[in-house]
Amino acid sequence: MNTIRTPVAIIGAGPAGLLLGQLLAKQGVENIIVERVSGDYVLGRIRAGILEQGLVKLLQEAGVSDRMFAEGEYHRGVEIAIDGKRVHIDLENLTGGDQVMCYGQTEVTRDLMEARAAAGLTSYYESSDTQIHDIESDAPYVTFSHDGEQYRLDCDFVAGCDGFHGVSRKTIPEAKRTEFERVYPFGWLGVLSDTPPCNDELIYAKSERGFALASMRSKTRSRYYIQVPLTDSVENWSDDAFWEELKKRLPADVAETMITGPSIEKSIAPLRSFVCEPMQYGKLYLLGDAAHIVPPTGAKGLNLAASDVETLYKILTKFYKEGRADLLREYSEKALKRVWAGERFSWWMSNMLHDYGDEQITAMSAEMQDRFMASERDYYFGTEEGKTVVAKQYVGLPYPTVE
Ligand code: FAS
Ligand code: PHB
């Protein structure tokens, strides 16, 4: 058994783990990352595309923002299309100057991986049998296998950044955990294509055929989604079938000029809202998808992971540099307040823009539900004060204060 030690053991090298590791290291707080798969496998995941202003600032603080500013694109607004009628949400003017950055999660992860390697920070990729031990003691530790060797990693704290299917959340005793979940009656079929985006800004579309989203990764790479039944499978969707259906759901003028091409990635993601309370137990802290999941309709998944990271990084930095042990117990309550706001917004955006068929969002008749939703759309996408509420949530609410 190889026994090693670090102040903070981070489980998972997704954006949450890598960003936390980078920010702590810049404050002189050493850390080691244990990751289940290879770096290439992590980079092969196609996920988020919209960064809130708070995450942009964090990446700057982490020293990994150069390529984002060079290749990413600020969006001053976003479009909502209801049955073909386009409404512009002027994010910049409605929020007093905030915008969102369009830059893929894959690129954020790549930039963080390269910075970690350049800083000579230790990461154990392709590790297995990761287990977290004695989190209720003052001497927690992590065991794992790597390259045929067994490791014991002694630490002060464990940061569980290992996603929804990781080991961290399950390390909290079941009797001490409360889990909240809403599984949606549909999924998103996503396509990545090396074609120019059909619009300068994102278009979230609700049509009688269901939801669609026109997004992008760059001026030459587009990302599209359509709502599909949970029973659907990627095999049912040729590229032509996808483009034909997408065009039927987007506004006609956009569909007419859209440039299509071969898909370079095509997958179906289920949608769920999920929160685990508390987000800490003993010396274990949960961050990002390890603690919560949102439907991507509000572009909040990656961005909520970032606000968890900022909250814990500030708490741990104050603990190591100022001896602020009092802050250690405040993480979960601080993080959850912003998590629930992001969960509600993502649930609400999903309700506004998807076809629920006969499924009840709340206990009422489908017809009554339709009228509620139509009235909400009229208000939140059709009035200045309604659009202001949407804009402030979309660009991201302020991060929790740590003082
Ligand atoms: P991640 O899941 O990204 O990373 C967790 C890491 O932990 C992984 O690398 C995993 O291999 C590792 N791990 C797991 N178990 C382990 C173990 N036992 N030991 C060691 N390591 C372990 N968000 C948006 O905002 N917009 C979107 O469009 C969007 N689309 C998505 C599509 C899909 C298919 C999925 C699954 C998610 C999507 N998300 C989207 C949400 C996504 O971006 C997450 O919020 C983001 O990846 C969260 O980052 P992490 O918390 O780091 O978790
Ligand atoms: C994406 O570009 O993948 C994307 C953008 C915004 C969302 C969801 C996904 O709300």
User: Domains of the chain, with CATH numbers?
Assistant: 2-73+99-181+272-395 (3.50.50.60), 185-270 (3.30.9.10)
CA distance 32 to 267: 32
CA distance 79 to 73: 16
Task: Output DSSP code: residue 84.
Answer: T
pLDDT of residue 37: 98
Q: Is the dihedral of CA 215, 217, 221, 224 positive or negative?
A: negative
pLDDT of residue 359: 84
Retrieve residue 333's tokens: 């309550």
Count CB-CB contacts under 10 A for residue 173. 11
Which ligand lies nearest to the CA atom of residue 35 in the structure? 1
Rounded to a whole number, what is the distance in angstroms from the first to the last CA of the chain? 40
Cβ of residue 15 lying under 6 Å from some atom of ligand 1: yes
CA distance 243 to 212: 11
pLDDT of residue 80: 98
Backbone angles phi, psi at 304, to 5 degrees: -70, -35
Q: Which positions are annotated as active-site residues?
A: 75, 204, 296, 300, 394
pTM (two decimals): 0.95
Continuous H helices in 265-330: 301-322
pLDDT of residue 373: 86
Which ranges of the chain have pLDDT less than 70? none
Cβ of residue 48 lying under 6 Å from some atom of ligand 2: yes
Tell me the one-letter amino acid at 82: I
Which ligand lies nearest to the CA atom of residue 222 in the structure? 2
Of residues 158, 30, 105, 37, the one with CA closest to residue 300? 105
Cβ of residue 396 lying under 6 Å from some atom of ligand 1: no
Q: Report which ligand 2 atom has the smallest distance to the Cα of 105.
A: 3
Of residues 347, 346, 330, the one with CA closest to residue 279? 330
Quick one: CA torsion of 334, 336, 341, 346, rounded to 10 degrees? 140
Cβ of residue 299 lying under 6 Å from some atom of ligand 1: yes
Beta bridge partners of 65: none
Beta bridge partners of 4: 153
For the segment 29-54, what is each residue's pLDDT rounded down to a tens digit? Answer: 999 999 999 999 999 998 999 999 99
C-alpha 49 – ligand 2 centre gap (Å)? 5
Retrieve residue 4's tokens: 């090693």
Do the Cβ atoms of 274 and 286 come closer than 8 Å? no
Continuous H helices in 95-171: 105-118, 168-171
CA distance 338 to 400: 7
How many residues are listed for the chain in this entry? 403
Retrieve residue 327's tokens: 């802050």
Retrieve residue 371's tokens: 């009228």
CA distance 33 to 349: 35
**Residue in this structure with the two tokens 């606000």, named with its chain if needed:** 307
Beta bridge partners of 293: 274
Do the Cβ atoms of 95 and 391 come closer than 8 Å? yes
Do the Cβ atoms of 263 and 225 come closer than 8 Å? no
